[in-house]
Structures are given as C-alpha cells and as structure tokens.
Amino acid sequence: MTIFRLLVLAPVVCLSLSSLADTDVEISIQADAPGAVIDRHIYGQFAEHLGHGIYQGLWVGEESQIPNIRGFRRDVVEALQALQIPNIRWPGGCFAEEYHWKDGIGPREERPTRINTNWGDVEESNAVGTHEFFDLAEMLGADAYIVGNVGRGSPKEMAEWLEYITADNDSALAELRRANGREAPWEVPFWGVGNENWKCGGNMRAEYYADVYRRYTTFLKAPSNNTPKKIASGGYHLDTAWTDEISQIGSKIDGIGIHYYTMVTENWVDKGDATGFSKDEWFAHLAETLKMDNYLRSHIAVLDRNDPEGRIGVYVDEWGSWYDVEEGSNGKFLRQQNSIRDALVAAINFNIFHRYADRIRMTNIAQMVNVLQAMILTDGEEMLLTPTYHVYEMHTLFHDAVAVPVDSGDVPSVSDGDISIPMVSASAAISKGGDLAVSLVNLSPDTDVSLAARVNGIASHDVSGRVLTGEEIDSHNTFATSNAVRPMPISVSIEDDYLRLTLPAKSLVVLSVQRSSGQ
C-alpha cells in the first residue's frame, strides 16, 4: 500500500459558493520518497463496435474522400499518435460477447454482415477485423488488449483466435493468417476472457464464471515469448463478490477487469446532460467521480487478503462520464458532448489511479472516438479534439513515472447544498526523464486557488506548466469553435522550496519541474 491512501482522511474546511475570493492552499510534495511506478497502461483507450466509434469515427475505408491511411482517418490517427496511447481494448465491451472473429478476416467484400444486437440493431459489416485492428494499433504504437467471446463463443473459438494471432509455426491457422496477408505473428500482451459476464456477457454468478474462466484459459495457449496476460471479467461498482471469488482462481489469472462509470442516477435513465447543466449538477457529478477512490480501496482490500504478494492487477477497463445521448442522435450510439467538467473527471481519476499505482496495471476510458467520454468527435469530414483529449496529452509526463506522496494537509472543501467536495486534487511523480511532474485540479466552479506547493527532495530553478480551463462550467469545443478549450501556458514562480501559482476555477494544471544540474 502507498502513503496516498492516508491522504483522503485529511480534514477539510468548508467554503460556500458565495465565497468567490482567492483561497490559499498549501500542499507538500515528497519527491524524496519514491513509491510505485505509474504504469503507462493506466492511460489506455477503449474502441468498441458501438455507434460511430469504429465506423465513421476511426474507419472510413480506403476509397473514402476523407484522407485516410489504409482506411483509417488520417486526421484521427495523427491526433491519437500525440497521446502516446499505450494500449487499445477491442472489440468490446458487450459487443465482444457476440463477436465471432472469423467474420472479420479475409477479403472484406466476402465478409458476412451481422446485426449488432447490443447497440442499436444496426448492420455490422465486419470491415474492421483482426488485421485492421492490429494495423491501427501498430500505427499508434499501442499494445493490443483483445477481449474474447465467452457469452456466445466457445473455448475452441477463443483458443483458435489466439493461435491465429500468435502462432509462429506452420499450423493451419498460422497459414490462414499468412494467406490473409500477415506473415509474422502479432504481439498481444493482454487478453480479456469475457466482458461483464455478470450482465451482457451471460448473466452469470461469480462462482459459475470462475469455473467458466478456468475452462477457457485451460485452452488459451501461445508461444512462450508471446503469451498474453489473462484478464478476468470482474464486478461493477462496490460489488466485491466477484473480486473475492475470482482472485482465488489460482495461477491462470493476471488481472481483474472492473468498471466504474460516473453517473448521477441509480436506474440508468435520466443521467443528465453533457452541457447546459447547473452548478448543483456539477457538484453531484464530481462527487460521484470521487467515489472511485472508495471503489478501488474496497476491491484492493479484497485482493490484499487473497493475493498478498500483489501478483493480480486491477484493470479498470471501462470508466468515464455517462450522460443522456445528444438530442437527435441514436439512443444506442451513446454520443455525447465533452466539457471542461469531463476534463476534470479524467484528471481527478488519474490522481486517484496514481494513489493505487501498486495495484492498478491498466485503465481504459470509454471510449476513444465518438462514444461516451471520447478523445475525439467527428462529423463527416470534420473532427475536433475534446477537453478530455487534452487531459491525456498533458499527462504523458506520468507514463511509467514513479509516484511520490502529496500531503494535501487541510485542503478546503467547497459545497453546494448538502454536497461537499475537496477544492483541490493533486498527485505527483518523478518522470522517466528524472524531472518532477505535478497534476493539480481545482474542482470549484468559480473560486480561484492561490496554491503554494513545498517540494522536498528536488532543487530546481526552472518550472513550466500548462492550464486547461473554460469560461463556463460547460465550456466545450464544437466544430465551429474547435479550440475554445485547449491548454495554455501558466505562470509559476519558485520561492525558496515552494512552487507558487494560481489555479483558476474549474481547471487542470500540469507542471514539469526540472531538476537542477548535479542532482
């Protein structure tokens, strides 16, 4: 366990929304107390065959008038490359539990059309299959996280898919892959054995799924130098029964995939709007996001009991904001706008993930393009980067960095009615280059923070930073104003051992503190 877990217990001082003057906050960064490595895979992505996430969002086909690279939109690919994406989870999601991989290989004109019964009963052309997905992953320099079909599939089908991908011999499936245009095996570091098997993946009980998992993984075989980590389907929110049962499976499990969506609803309806919301909705939504901390703590406590050596990782392979769909869009396509509030949702979650870096091996935001809390929105030839995209780009400093403790002391809280949230969320790490990366979030919708951060363990005379904020609580980018929310430079001073700056209301600030020479 890391020291971060103690910090959530720090006392708070409440401020009402009527207190709009700058608030003084002091934190302490222990750069001389290195902790766990923040796995770069915490910044993973998720691309499901859902709505326009794949088709029109990523894939337009090689004959499209939209500039493309072997069928994938050039503008989207180039934008995603800047995020240094570590992995992509594919093909779902619930879609994975009805996906038969052989439908997506061979000449595209000969591939069968299926119906996507999970997401709108629309036609699935299978134009994007195994070869296309790995082509995209290689373009982006991302690892593959394949989710296999447990719900409607069989152990034989899943085992043959893994063999098709990884076989380096002359087996029939290796020869089939070569006949379809790929000579060398692909690397597949992560393999999910089903998705949400407590619901869309079969409505199973934890005990039953544990036996199903044992059966399927018995036949998942690959070359010793290309054997993926096997990820079991886990539970949802605070239900730890699945984690308890699955973490006792034994040596055939490397991780448990758990899901947490930020939604202000208990019945999956009336989730609120992505824009045009009120301040009380701002507070309610961010309060739900902060519950991720308790969610992770509960599941990790079970793992600590059943797996004290820390072998089994936590994979939060679906998370993010979920609202009502955009007006006029297909209700099953899950398209929603993305505002500065969602940027803060992402940044807060990253700070939480950093606290538990000793257990969290991967997370995957839902989803990469056009679906839920997306990085990118497209409409025909147009494309825009969302505020959440910028959060990912600003946090590349944290990939494989070493977490260090942040003592937030008596951080004030800000309240609206009976909802109170901390004003500041923070985390810090020593980057791979040896400098200090600091992430600071001001959760208040309208109060600036005068922040002093004492840094122990690094002497520096040089610091740079960027801020992401907006004029309104729902500031967002549109195709007409695509740069309304984007990172800007921020002024930071160094006085003695303190970093001093002002965090604007509703903002994310990421700092890079360069070590002085000789350290």
Residues 427 and 408: their CA atoms lie apart, in Å, by 10
C-beta of residue 453 within 8 angstroms of C-beta of residue 31? no
93 contact partners, CB below 8 Å, separation of at least 6: 46, 48, 49, 50, 118, 147, 195, 318
Is 196 labeled as catalytic in the residue annotation?
yes
Neighbours of 516 (CB within 10 A): 10
Contact 249, 207 (CB under 8 A): no
Q: What is the C-alpha to C-alpha distance for residues 38 and 275, in angstroms, rounded to an integer?
A: 32
Which burial class, exposed, middle or buried, applies to 471 when counting CB atoms under 10 A from its CB (0-12, 13-18, 19+)? Answer: exposed
Region of 328 (left: φ > 0; alpha: ψ -120 to 50; beta: rest) is left
The verdict on whether omega for the bond into residue 30 sits within 30 degrees of 0, i.e. cis, is no
Instruction: Give the Cα separation of 323 and 343 in Å (integer).
Output: 14
DSSP string, 182-205: --SPPP--EEEE-S-TTTTTT---
Which positions ≥6 away from 58 have C-beta within 8 Å? 47, 72, 73, 76, 128, 136, 368, 369
Q: Cα separation of 218 and 228, whole Å? A: 14
Dihedrals phi, psi of 279, to nearest 5 degrees: -65, -35
Catalytic-labelled residue, pool 97, 160, 281, 318 = 318
Q: How many Cβ atoms are within 10 Å of 308's Cβ, its own excluded?
A: 8
Q: What are phi and psi of 369, to 5 degrees?
A: -135, 130
Q: Which of 48, 196, 245, 281 is catalytic?
A: 196
Helix (H) or strand (E) holding 69: strand 68-69
The backbone torsions φ and ψ at residue 90, rounded to the nearest 5 degrees and listed phi first, read -160, 150
DSSP E strand boundaries for 149-244: 190-193, 229-236
**Residue 163 catalytic?**
no
Q: Is 450 exposed, middle or buried (0-12, 13-18, 19+ CB in 10 A)?
A: middle
Active site residues: 196, 318
